[in-house]
Amino acid sequence: MKTIKTLGLFSLLILSIGTTSCNADEPIPPKKEPTIDEYGIAIDQEVDLGLPSGTIWAGWNLGATAPEEFGDYYACGETETKAEYSLSNYSHWFDKNEDGYLTANPVYCEFIDIGSNISGTKYDVARLNWKGKWRIPTYEEFKELISYCTWTWIYYKDSYGYKVTGLNGVSIFLPFAGYISGTTFYPIRGRYWSSTINEINRYGIELCFDFNNFFDLCQTSYRHGGCSIRPVK
């Protein structure tokens, strides 16, 4: 009886090894090629720019359905759009001295602490809306986008903005979507929130750019302003 059991176990082991070997020999599915339009812009939701970190950038803004659309605007760390983007209705501010202004003492202590990096947290509207691994990009990921990509100012499908070309020659489009302060829309700059909070003054850090070949990471941006979000994963 023991011999039969031993032979049975040995047979199962051989079958298991055979199955593992067959699976290991299966070909890896080919990498999906990006869909490129006549302007040389990738129009997929997921775009690989060949960056050293391997970060995948979204092909359009949060709230949009195509690269040229502006999408929705959010205050830093908020997960809902609104009609007014002011300090008084910013959910992560508490007016301790009730003077209606942001007070420094010595840092901006009236900001409610939401952490130094909200990417993937409950304050991340990209994670909330797009689910999965999508999230707001960090300061370092925007820095990588600036350092390793070629930025070209273009007019694309009725929208001005930058064609951002990665190391692999694939490009995304960041529209000149403006921003909202109070109830006023300002079309004079592109402003995209990062997930990083400046630990010294507790302001939000965002990517800023204009039409004069200027693009930078601003570290003193009012967190209550309504800005664009370009998700990553």
Report the mean per-residue pLDDT for the chain: 88
CA atoms within 13 A on the CB side of 131: 0
- 39 part of a folded domain: no
pLDDT of residue 106: 75
pLDDT of residue 10: 38
- 50 part of a folded domain: yes
Contacts of 23 (CB under 8 A, 6+ apart): none
- 24 part of a folded domain: no
Beta strands in 108-158 (DSSP E): 150-156
pLDDT of residue 83: 97
Tokens standing for 69?
Answer: 């659309």
- 83 part of a folded domain: yes
CB neighbour burial string for 96-108, b if at least 16 within 10 angstroms, e if fewer = eeeeeebeeeeeb
CB neighbour burial string for 47-70, b if at least 16 within 10 angstroms, e if fewer = bbbebeeebbbbbbbbbbebbbbb
Q: Kindly state the average pLDDT of the residues 76-104.
A: 94
Does the pLDDT value for residue 8 go beyond 90?
Answer: no
pLDDT of residue 6: 41
pLDDT of residue 29: 58
C-alpha angle 196/150/144, rounded to 5°?
25
- 190 part of a folded domain: yes
- 169 part of a folded domain: yes
pLDDT of residue 3: 43
Does the pLDDT value for residue 13 go beyond 90?
Answer: no
- 13 part of a folded domain: no
pLDDT of residue 19: 41
Q: Kindly state the average pLDDT of the residues 94-104.
A: 90
Q: Kindly state the average pLDDT of the residues 172-185.
A: 97
Domains identified in the chain, total number? 1
pLDDT of residue 50: 98
Residue range(s) defining the domain that contains residue 85: 46-221
Sign of CA dihedral 133, 137, 143, 149: positive
Does the pLDDT value for residue 105 go beyond 90?
Answer: no
CB neighbour burial string for 117-130, b if at least 16 within 10 angstroms, e if fewer = bbbbeebbbbbeeb
Alpha-carbon span 129 to 134, nearest angstrom = 9
pLDDT of residue 28: 61
pLDDT of residue 9: 41
pLDDT of residue 84: 98
Does the pLDDT value for residue 2 go beyond 70?
Answer: no
The tens digit of pLDDT for each residue in 23-81 reads 455 566 567 789 999 999 999 999 999 999 999 999 999 999 999 999 999 999 999 99
In 3D space, the residue among 75, 85, 73, 77 whose CA is nearest the CA of residue 113 turns out to be 77
- 64 part of a folded domain: yes
Does the pLDDT value for residue 119 go beyond 90?
Answer: yes
